[in-house]
Structure 1
């Protein structure tokens, strides 16, 4: 409205252009309406070619539909992101459970290793133990498997093998040969070290995946929060635009009423002027006839 009032105040509005009063080389301007859109001439042709005739209600409905589509699109994106976030949470929980299971297995492996290490006896101590219990004598000791002495302490070592010690026992009074088999299981240090390295590698890998999932989860959560704030801003902006459109409709209605009142006033003035002209003409004719 300020645009149109500016030109009307400077006598360069639509009425001045149509009536041809005070026409100059300056620019004339006004807000195009339905009459201008359907009128003949360059202005009407330009409007029909480059514009669409819309009412304030049509503009309000179009703006409201655009805002609704934008809100629906954002809501759909938030739903997709939420679904992806739930999937990431499930994957994170599965990875955490797998990590806990692996840590429990690692603890059990270490416990088994610690318990097995106490069963390892030096060869000299084991031989002395057997002789003290009179299972065998030094002349009747037979080893049925290969023995490995790994260091100066002469500890037995085997790769998950079972050592069999066959013992012959001869009593001084009885000519009886008895056999006894003692089985001792030893853990290989290199095998345990390899298993520990594998467990550490798997633990580091699971921890790295867990950290990556946590980072991605935090990123998606921040993105969802940002989308939610943007949606709230759009809803608030939609309410503001709705109020602005309602105010604009009210102003247009007031302007239309004022324009109609002005047209009615001009029409009344023209009628009054015509009546006065007819009355003066009637008086002149009456005076001429009397003379």
Structure 2
């Protein structure tokens, strides 16, 4: 089972030693395994690391180092490694490798004070020669004691004496200590030790005496004691062992700290490498996408260029053919001109005849123009007549409204008279002459009122019939005018045109498609616009779709487009406000002019004021623009 410290949110540094009990309990219960095969160990909190197998001491160093760690390491991670170090020291201490014990070489007590670095003393060195070499020299002495691997030899000499002394220095480690002890033992074997040197019975002669420097030598007066006090200090072998262990622990801690720092740096480098690798992948992907788009655009441009070249070549060939035809025609005209120069007289007669015909034709055109102008004036008079009839009809309508009010008043009076007559009939039994007389008067008045009401109804029906007839005549005249002006108003710059009410404006769709698809040719964008316009024109003619609702504005009911309609909302989100506004405008026009048929209706439109044009405006425009054609000069 692996344990991940990232399963929960991280803890604060102050909670580290409280939290370590949880992973420590998991380690003791065996739910988190530390021991691996072949006496190897693993860290259950560093899953996924490359190094999985440790020795006991290496894993302990790793746990201690990660437990201390840097400030960048997560607090929960530190707590887990502190628990691992505690588990290794308390529960798996028997698994630790026993460190090799440094054996103190023989002939030395652990509590005996020795000069450190290890130093030997040689006395009674004769100032003579041995086989031609000076005995009292560093070269000779180094050669003599070479088997003990001395590091340095220092000679001391008094010019008045025939004998000298020497200090022999050994390496400051246990190998050097062994060599120093062997050096002393060699002198002891030959009875030339310090004890023998101090004995009065010993025959000193010319032989050298030597021993390992100790506390009494350190305190000795003279050059040797002075030298030892300057270059060495007194230590027991136990002190040297303890110092070695302390140095070793310090070095281990320093190396562990450096290892953790390098590991963290490696993790940071790995993260940076992953980020740069991902960034490079994205850049390569973007580059590939841009390269594909560039290749596609290049291919399309080459195709368009090829098409344009083909078109230009075809047009050039056509122009060449036309040029050749023109050249042939010019040649033909030239020959014809040469031929006509011969027939000048006959041509002049023919020209005079053509001029006469032209004058006759111009006269006819002038008469026709005058006739057209008179027809326009007749139309205007007819329009004025219709206008007067409309005004008369409106006046009559007002009168009818007043008569309707009068009729309602008469009805009320008739009802009142009938009610009174009913009451009087109940009182008829009293034989009151005055009552009979009053009833007769009221009966006569009632008959007059009913006759007056019948007359008003007949007059009202007649006027309504005339009003409908005038209205029908005006609508027929408007339809005829629209049919006659369809071709005359198209393509001319006027304030009037034939507008199809309920038809979508294609220009709005083309403009939107050209802005939305700038990379495609304009004619392709126009094709897309026409397809979209045709699609929504068909939807508007569908009777099942009626996005119109009625609202009250200042107390009056008004029909508006339902902006909550799903199709219109989707259109606005996908194609924007311009196309949405064009569809809403066409819907209102269709609902106003043809709500039942749901198809476009032609209407005369005043483009300057953006409203429905009156018949008077259009006919006045027609009469104003009727011009007499100029005479052609012969």
Fold shared per TM-score above 0.5: no
TM-score by length of 1: 0.40
TM-score using structure 2 length: 0.20
